[in-house]
Amino acid sequence: MLFSQLHISLLEAMEKTTFENASWQRLQAVIEHSRIQSVSAFTRHIGINKPENLYQIRRGNNGISKELAKTICGCFPEISMGWLLTGEGSMILGEERQKEERQERAPDLIIKVIIESV
């Protein structure tokens, strides 16, 4: 019984690591696409004060949150939020899809600007 629990725990850890590494690979692809030289510079560019958030993804401790994906796609509208979150589809959106995603994100961005100005 103990062996099977250990085996299951190892499999779960491997799945998590694979998922998290895939998250970092997608994030790294966006950083390379942005042509920004470092993770720290990228975090400053997108308005995140702590590069540690991205380093946690790199280490496999966290995945890409929906909030982080919105922030990145707000700065880089050509990046597919769906791809960033799941890895499905293409990283770069076509022009029509960029317009659609901008319209979908507009209410969130307006709320963010209002909150930040208060």
**Which has more pLDDT, 115 or 112?**
115
Domain ranges for the chain, please list them.
Answer: 2-117
d(CA 65, CA 23) in angstroms, rounded, equals 10
pLDDT in tens, 41-74: 999 999 998 889 899 999 889 999 999 999 999 9
The single residue listed with the structure tokens 């922030």 is: 71
φ/ψ of residue 59, rounded to 5: -75, -10
Query: Mean pLDDT score of the chain, rounded to an integer?
Result: 80
Quote the tokens at residue 76. 């880089």
pLDDT, residue 118, reads 67
**Which has more pLDDT, 6 or 66?**
66
Sign of torsion, CA 31 37 41 46?
negative
Closest residue by Cα to residue 13 from 5, 25, 1 = 5
**Whether pTM exceeds 0.85:** no
pLDDT, residue 3, reads 53
